Structure formats: C-alpha cells, structure tokens
C-alpha cells in the first residue's frame, strides 16, 4: 500500500547554535531560553557552552 503524505508525521527540527547540527525538538532535548527564544542542543555540553555566553552564538 502506498503511504500518503498526510500519513507521515513531520518532526520539528532546530539547529544547535553551538555545533550547528540539526536537532530533533522533543520533550527530552536539552534547551535554553534566551531573550524569549528557545534554543535546542545536540548535547548538554553544547547547552552548557551556550549558557556561559549566549551572545557569542546568536550574534553570528
């Protein structure tokens, strides 16, 4: 049976501002909020790096 496009669940993705990797947005994905925006991360190390100096990563 052919799968219809409407049957495919779209996964929300984000770009980790530290590693520049694509990250699946899930309830368990590490994230930080900065200036009213959520940033999602590939790892807790990336999150911790971001949290130390967010401007370094969002102003690029």
What are 11-27's pLDDT values in tens digits? 899 999 999 999 999 99
Spatial CB neighbours of 12, under 8 Å, sequence gap ≥ 6: 24, 25
SS3 8: coil
Residue 2's pLDDT band (cuts 50, 70, 90) = low
- In angstroms, the CA 40 to CA 36 distance is 13
The pTM score is 0.79
Q: Which of 59, 39, 36 minimizes the C-alpha distance to 47?
A: 39
- In angstroms, the CA 46 to CA 16 distance is 8
Q: Domains in the chain: how many in total?
A: 1
Which domain range does residue 49 map to? Answer: 5-58
Q: Do residues 47 and 35 make contact, with C-beta atoms less than 8 angstroms apart?
A: no
21-52 tens-digit pLDDT = 999 999 999 999 999 999 999 999 999 999 99
């Amino acid at each position: 049976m052919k799968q219809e496009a409407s049957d495919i669940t779209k996964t929300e993705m984000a770009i980790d501002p530290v590693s520049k990797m694509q990250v699946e947005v899930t309830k368990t994905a590490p994230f930080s909020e900065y200036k009213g925006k959520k940033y999602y991360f590939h790892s807790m190390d990336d999150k911790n790096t971001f949290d130390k100096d967010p401007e370094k990563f969002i102003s690029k």
